């Protein structure tokens, strides 16, 4: 009964006119970002994060969450119609979706993608609602030692699940941890890595790094390869699948939902990994694997369900444990903290309207996305005819405004530009910037909990193996390290990401 009461509290909060409006804005912006290649939800949320300062906490978080899961919907539209995935998680959708469009079945592909995404999003939302209170109760038994072990496990898992060489991912994590140390030490008052610059005494702002390595770097990368003045759009037919399409896709949607919900929980996981995993599984269990890539509806249903389920289930570790599972959740963690909310078990007990309002808004947002996406397909496709050389000045302007509005300092804009060049260099070196962001966000939390643990035990590190939960996390970390060393695991991992890049 208490569960239903809390769920009704959430719907009451989410369905206020203001919160419904921001949910709609987030869903529309997310769809637009998903449709337009070269922007991405990470950079968009980084740009819009300062705007949410002027909104109530729940409204701002609802809008940012809507941008994230809305982008998963938008990416499938262009993947199907023009073979141009708006999001990395929609790359697999293009393999069969575009072939269906060429066969005159674009409407069926888009409808299956939208309905599968809605079902997966609904399941993942209820997973958050059901798992949240349980995990939060479990998290109340966490002390500083448990949090240190959990963060170590999360950082290591992020390096394994990031694309590229593991050594490069570890290097990005360490660089992020180093950047998190810049500023004045809260315990001793000593300056660390400031090089005498007064502007760095308070540390580097999260928005500066996020907009630099994602926003500015993305603009430079797209200018380097963009020259298209328009796209060739596949013919759009009836927007409802046949009975045979439903029969062929429902199992794929169920499997994709299960995979996405699970992988969204893992540190370093997310929508992209889930979509590729779901597609690979469908190909293995199919009776006709040779037809994949020629326009089978299962090749659209499974990855679309998986990426939307993963996008929403990745909120579970953030909301219950306060640990971001990927770079997008690191961005959301910053949004929570900017509004004075500390994600974790305390949210459910002290601010239940925030947790349950966000959960309810996710279901409402998924419903809005189905309603608004199919009628607006023509508009989204027409936007693709706008050359990128006309789009990027506006994107660049919003990035600069977002950075400057944080502290009203030109120094931050210059610093973000420097991180933009650094981010571009990382991309050229095939170093994924996501682990850097995770390291930057988790670094100060890791340091604070480690210091607290050492103060409690007077410098005795045996507490990490004496406490069962901490020991379990450390054992899991050792297992991951062992996997990293095994040649067979490295080979499988490299082959998986080579397939993704292809």
Q: What's residue 83's pLDDT?
A: 63
Are 393 and 478 within one domain? no
Domain count, the chain: 2
Q: Do residues 381 and 476 share a domain?
A: no
Q: What is the pTM of this model?
A: 0.67
Is residue 116 over pLDDT 80?
yes
Same domain, 186 and 62: yes
Together in a domain, 450 and 474: no
| Claim to verify: residue 481 and residue 397 sit in the same structural domain | no
- What's the pLDDT at 228? 46
Q: Cα–Cα distance between 115 and 107 in angstroms, integer?
A: 12
Residue/partner pairs of 285-289 with CB below 8 Å, 24 or more apart: 285/255
Other residues' Cβ atoms within 10 Å of the Cβ of residue 287? 5
Mean pLDDT for 120-143 is 74
Mean pLDDT of 146-175: 74
Neighbouring residues of 399: CB distance < 8 A, sequence distance ≥ 6 = 43, 46, 47, 211, 215, 216, 219, 416
Q: Do 473 and 349 have their domain in common?
A: no
Give the tens place of pLDDT for each residue, 412-439. Answer: 888 888 988 998 898 888 787 777 877 8
Query: What pLDDT score does 136 carry?
Result: 63
Residue 203 CA neighbour count, 13 Å, CB half: 18
Q: Which domain holds residue 501?
A: 467-502
Q: Which band of pLDDT confidence, cut at 50, 70 and 90, is reported for residue 111?
A: confident
The neighbouring-strand residues paired with 184 are: 191
Q: Are residues 334 and 416 in the same domain?
A: yes
- Whether the predicted pLDDT of 46 surpasses 50: yes
**Same domain, yes or no: 404 and 502:** no
Instruction: Give the angle subtended at the CA of 475 by the CAs of 470 and 476, to the nearest 5°.
Output: 100
Question: Tens of pLDDT along 334-347?
Answer: 778 777 787 777 77
Question: In this structure, are 454 and 474 located in the same domain?
Answer: no
- Regarding whether 275 and 372 lie in a shared domain, the answer is yes
CA distance 413 to 193: 19
Residue identified by tokens 């643990």 is 453
pLDDT grade for 230, boundaries at 50, 70 and 90: very low
Same domain, 403 and 493: no
- 234 Rama class: left (phi>0) / alpha (psi -120 to 50) / beta: beta
Residues 265 and 403 in one domain: yes
């Amino acid at each position: 009964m208490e569960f239903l009461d809390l769920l009704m509290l959430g719907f009451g909060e989410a369905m206020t006119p203001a919160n419904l409006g921001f949910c709609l804005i987030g869903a529309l912006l997310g769809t637009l970002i998903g449709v337009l290649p070269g922007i991405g939800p990470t950079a968009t949320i980084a740009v819009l994060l300062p705007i949410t300062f002027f909104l109530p906490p729940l409204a701002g978080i609802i809008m940012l969450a809507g941008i994230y899961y809305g982008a998963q919907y938008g990416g499938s539209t262009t993947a199907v119609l023009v073979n141009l995935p708006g999001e990395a998680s929609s790359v697999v959708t293009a393999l069969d979706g575009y072939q269906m469009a060429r066969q005159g079945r674009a409407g069926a592909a888009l409808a299956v993608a939208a309905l599968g995404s809605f079902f997966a999003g609904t399941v993942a939302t209820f997973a958050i609602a059901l798992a949240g209170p349980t995990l939060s109760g479990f998290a109340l038994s966490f002390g500083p030692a448990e949090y240190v072990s959990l963060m170590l496990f999360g950082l290591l898992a992020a390096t394994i699940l990031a694309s590229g060489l593991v050594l490069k991912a570890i290097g990005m994590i360490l660089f992020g941890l180093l950047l998190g140390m810049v500023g004045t030490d809260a315990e001793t008052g000593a300056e660390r890595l400031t090089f005498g610059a007064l502007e760095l005494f308070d540390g580097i702002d999260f928005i500066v790094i996020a907009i630099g390595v994602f926003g500015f770097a993305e603009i430079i990368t797209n200018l380097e390869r963009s020259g298209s003045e328009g796209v060739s759009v596949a013919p759009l037919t009836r927007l409802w699948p046949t009975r045979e399409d439903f029969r062929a896709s429902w199992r794929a949607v169920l499997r994709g939902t299960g995979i996405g919900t699970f992988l969204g929980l893992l540190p370093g996981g997310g929508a992209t990994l889930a979509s590729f995993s779901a597609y690979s599984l469908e190909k293995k269990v199919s009776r006709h694997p040779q037809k994949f890539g020629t326009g089978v509806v299962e090749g659209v249903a499974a990855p679309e369900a998986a990426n939307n389920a993963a996008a929403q289930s990745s909120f579970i570790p953030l909301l219950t444990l306060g640990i971001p599972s990927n770079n997008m959740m690191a961005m959301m963690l910053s949004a929570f903290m900017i509004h004075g909310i500390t994600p974790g078990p305390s949210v459910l007990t002290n601010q239940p309207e925030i947790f349950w309002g966000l959960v309810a808004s996710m279901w409402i947002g998924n419903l809005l996305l189905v309603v608004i996406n199919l009628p607006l397909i023509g508009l989204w496709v027409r936007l693709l005819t706008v050359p990128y050389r006309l789009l990027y000045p506006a994107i660049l302007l919003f990035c600069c405004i977002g950075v400057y509005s944080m502290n009203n300092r030109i120094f931050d804009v210059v610093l973000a530009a420097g991180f933009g060049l650094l981010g571009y260099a990382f991309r050229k070196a095939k170093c994924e910037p996501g682990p850097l962001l995770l390291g930057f966000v988790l670094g100060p939390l890791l340091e604070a909990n480690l210091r607290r643990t050492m103060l409690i035990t007077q410098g005795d590190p045996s507490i990490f193996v004496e406490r069962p939960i901490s020991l379990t996390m450390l054992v899991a970390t050792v297992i991951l390290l062992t996997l990293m060393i095994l040649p067979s695991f490295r080979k499988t991992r490299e082959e998986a990401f080579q397939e993704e890049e292809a």
